Structure formats: structure tokens, C-alpha cells
Amino acid sequence: MALTLPLPKDSDLPGDVVERLRSLPAINIYRMLGHAPQTVIAWTDLTKALYQSKLSPRYREIAILRQAYRANAPYEIHQHRFIAMNNGLTEEEISLILSDDKVQSLSPLENLICRAADEMESHATITDDTFRALNEQLEHRELIELLLVISVYCAVARFLNSARIQIEPDNPLARESSPTGRH
């Protein structure tokens, strides 16, 4: 017997949740959230807000991919591989981010972003040295947005892995620059 939950059907969900789900790419994480329908709109609003940030989309996706790798979150890696490529990262850069080694082959700031993701995933915080270095290179808003992105995606990875959410066979995010669709 498979250790998965069935995805809720539209008929199982409130109308506003069905409407929101129909407005988004058909990815299983959103549908699975339907088992707790009060979370769907709030979760997807938070995701949209993270993608409307001042932080560079490139930096955001580097942080997400690195955190997902450290969290051993295959669903998150799968989806954000597409989003990262649609935001300008190359397959080679993605491979470096998803390597076991300390990331040192990107730009100094991008390597630092990977270090922050490594630290947050393993220690639930970043070191004073990492904070100081990020603060010297990013505006306050960008720094907070980066920390929020990594923090939120730490939670995302735990939910995806624990709920055993399966990767969709049709890759709904293959052409998207955001998990909530293009904006």
C-alpha cells in the first residue's frame, strides 16, 4: 500500500478554494493543501508575495534550490529547476547548486546565498558572519526577503516530504517563472 494521500477533488472543496486552485498551475502541493482548505488561499498569497519581491529572481531561485537540496526535497528541486531556468539559471549553475560540496563556483554573493541556505537548513539560523556579509551586499529589504524565502521554503520542504507529495507527470511549471504562474 502506497504511503500517499489522495488529492482532494473540486467537489470536496469550498468554492473560493476551487476558484483559487483553477487560477494556479495544477501542481500537487496546492491540491494537497485542500485537505486543510483554509490554508490554500493564504499559502498561495504568501507564495505570490515572495515572488513580487525586490530580491533578484536569480538569487531567490539559487536560495530555494540550495535549501531544497539540503532538505532532500525532490519535489521542490524538480519544480524549482524549471522556475530557475525560466529565471535565467543554466543547467550547469543548477548542477553546482545541487552538489554535495560547498558552493564556490558562482559569484561571491551567490556563493554566500548558498551558504545562508545551508546554514538555515541545518541550524535554523545563519551565523553572524553570514548575516554581516549579506547585510554588506544587499539592501535591508532584499536581505529580509532572502531570509523569508529561505525560511518559508524550509517549511515547504518539510510539508512536501512529510505529506509525500508526488511529482506531476506533465510538469505544469515547465514554462513558468513562478510557482503561482507568470505575473
Instruction: Give the pLDDT score at 2.
Output: 66
Q: Can you give the pLDDT of all 183 residues of the chain as single tens digits?
A: 568 899 999 999 999 999 999 999 999 999 999 999 999 999 999 999 999 999 999 999 999 999 999 999 999 999 999 999 999 999 999 999 999 789 999 999 999 999 999 999 999 999 999 999 999 999 999 999 999 999 999 999 999 999 999 999 999 999 999 999 864
CA dist 163 and 161 (Å) reads 6
DSSP 171: -
C-alpha cell at 33: 493543501
What's the confidence (pLDDT) of residue 182? 64
Report the amino acid identity of residue 11: S
User: 82 Cβ partners below 8 Å, 6+ apart?
Assistant: 171, 173, 174, 175, 176
Cell of 72: 532532500
End-to-end Cα, the chain, rounded Å = 40
Q: Give residue 101's pLDDT.
A: 87
* Phi-psi map region of 181: left, alpha, beta (phi>0 left; psi -120 to 50 alpha): left
Question: What sign does the dihedral 37-72-176-142 (CA atoms) show?
Answer: positive
Number of Cβ within a 10 Å radius of residue 1: 3
Q: For residue 157, which of 93, 22, 34, 64 has the smallest C-alpha distance?
A: 64
For the chain, which domains are there? 13-50 (no CATH), 57-163 (1.20.1290.10)
Where residue 124 falls (left for φ over 0; alpha for ψ -120 to 50; beta otherwise) is left
pLDDT of residue 1: 54
CA dist 9 and 146 (Å) reads: 35
In the structure grid, which three cell numbers stand for residue 133, read together?
556579509
